[in-house]
Structure 1
Amino acid sequence: MKAEKQPFHEEHATRIRRFQEVFADSGRSAAACIALREVICHFFRHQGREMAWRETTDPYRIFVSEVMLQQTQVERVKSKYPGFISRFPDFASLAAAETADILDEWQGLGYNRRALALRGAAQEVMERFSGQLPGEVRDLESLPGIGHATASSIAAFAFNRPTVFIETNIRRVFIHFFFRDEDGISDAEILPLVEMTVDRKHPREFYWGIMDYGTMLKKRYPNPNRRSASYSRQSRFEGSDRQVRGRILRILLETGVSEPGALYAGAGVDPEKGKQILERLKKEGFVREEGGNYRIT
């Protein structure tokens, strides 16, 4: 008689116990990293999340999703990604887009500088790389708004490269499993473990799995990242300059043009602070002044 297959949770618990046994015997070793890889990959096979950018290997679409996901929750990106891709389906259309059109699609994602950096990156892809996204991390890092972690994730997801990098969820998983009773853990301590754990044959799926596992841990346990040396609390959004900037841009997208007083009132900011924010927006290329009024550049 054929044995009944174990339910997911039982099978997963068995894999975690296996990791714990290996870790108890050999510490932060290659064997423990392989055991952790089994935990991650098993979880992803059964519990992996569905996302539009995981259903394509188009480098452009993956590039856009990774920039959107910087400092933004997945659910919010899920709601904005389809419209953005529909309006700007490739590097050429994004490179030629007007600022107002990009900001209109970007509303709700926050950190509007990323939108302009994304267009700048598209322009460089068209000019320097003949419209084809490069697959090397060093080339990706040379694009506006792309740091090492984002460049590495794009290389992994778009080109299936076994890159080694750390971001919030990766850090959370490794601290949870390898540094249970320690504080002040540095990324330099984590990186060699990531390198030994990454699935070099299937890096794309491995990193999807570890992102999902980190998200699950955040919901179930006190955040392990608080014990990281690089941990810092996110500044409060309510009443921040970032919130006021977003309100001003939203008003200008809706009205087309506005005088400063109306912008300050609509954004709920005093004139002195509002003037400073408007000046920064002008210097950064978001808005321009015409006869004492302001509009999107």
Structure 2
Amino acid sequence: MNQSSLDDFRATVWDFYAKHPRIMPWRTNTDPYWVLVSEVMLQQTQVTRVIPKFEAFVAALPTVKALAEVDLAFVLQLWSGLGYNRRAKYLHQAARVIQQQFDGEIPRSQEALVSLPGIGRNTAAAIVAYSSNSPSVFVETNIRTVYINHFFSDRAAVDDAEILQLVTLTLDRDSPREWYWALMDYGTFLKQSKQGALDQSRQFKKQTPFAGSMRQMRGRIIKVLSEQGGSSEQELSAQVDGDDRFAAALQALIHEGLICRELERFHLTGDRVNSDNRTS
């Protein structure tokens, strides 16, 4: 890979971004809390779906302290509709860890961030890049799209390790935050114009259809309990159009501590792990 091709690549990305930058609340305000919430919400969820949920979330819970002090039921009510509700639980747990172990300050290092529930290495690196304008290196879907399109268009089974090498080589170390914004916007454009070719990634996993999935049934249960409160199993099954997925979805949500059963009625629950450890 010669320097000229790397420079041409940077120019392509920057030129696109100069003409088509997207406006998002967590770009306008790069406060670490806003970045943390947005990065967790954006996992496997499109920006257009996240923005209204994000705005409602930070309006109701404007700080880490505020998030840590409410119970999980309230967080799930705010989260309902985004899907993958375990992310809400992890975010809630992370806020409590930050309050208890980091004096209420979101860590600025990747090593500390990965100690938080639900925060992997790529998410931690993204949080550092966006909140601190630090030249951290990471890979996610849009980044894969861009680099596969430009450098591996004739390859199959491209590994993230190969992409990471190029991300490191091409990273704008003077403006890493904006460079990653540019990559994200360019990657979104490539996917929308059917130039993504994500199936060429070794890490690619095709998402199963939402309709008829366990994810759909889990989401219905959380939504009903968020909007209507406690329900008996029979009522809940009727309210969510329960089918052969219902019992398994219900038990999984109980096991994960997202809902609980009290006096034969199901409710959204608080953080089961932290609640069990509290003393009266």
* TM-score of the aligned structures, taking structure 1 as reference length: 0.87
Partner of 1:94: helix, strand, or coil? helix
Residue 274 in 1 paired to residue 246 in 2?
Answer: yes
- Give the AA of the match of 2:219: G
Q: Deviations over 1:41-76 (max 9, x none)?
A: 222222110111101121111111111111000000
Residue 146 in 1 paired to residue 122 in 2?
Answer: no
Instruction: State the distance in 2 between where 1:255 and 1:64 align.
Output: 26
Q: Name the Cα RMSD after superposition.
A: 1.3
Residue 233 in 1 paired to residue 202 in 2?
Answer: no
Residue 295 in 1 paired to residue 267 in 2?
Answer: yes
- Give the AA of the match of 2:102: F
Partner of 1:257: helix, strand, or coil? coil
Larger Rg: 1
- Give the AA of the match of 1:118: L
Pick one of 122, 126, 129 that aligns with 2:102. Answer: 129
- Give the AA of the match of 1:71: Q
Q: Deviations over 1:67-113 (max 9, x none)?
A: 11110000001111111000000000001112221111111111011
Residue 105 in 1 paired to residue 78 in 2?
Answer: yes
How much has 1:35 moved relative to structure 2? Answer: 2.4
Report the number of matched residues.
269
Q: Write the mapping of 1:34-183 to structure 2, written as runs, cut at 5 A.
A: 34-183=7-156
How much has 1:221 moved relative to structure 2? Answer: 2.8
Partner of 1:294: helix, strand, or coil? strand
How much has 1:281 moved relative to structure 2? Answer: 1.1
Q: Which runs of 5+ in 2 are unaligned?
A: 270-280
* TM-score of the aligned structures, taking structure 2 as reference length: 0.92
Instruction: State the distance in 2 between where 1:154 and 1:254 align.
Output: 32
Q: Which runs of 5+ in 1 are unaligned?
A: 1-27
How much has 1:30 moved relative to structure 2? Answer: 3.9
Q: Deviations over 1:116-175 (max 9, x none)?
A: 110111111111111111111111111111111111110000011101111111011011
- Is the Cα–Cα contact under 8 Å of residues 81 and 223 in structure 2 kept in the other structure? no
- Is the Cα–Cα contact under 8 Å of residues 30 and 196 in structure 1 kept in the other structure? no
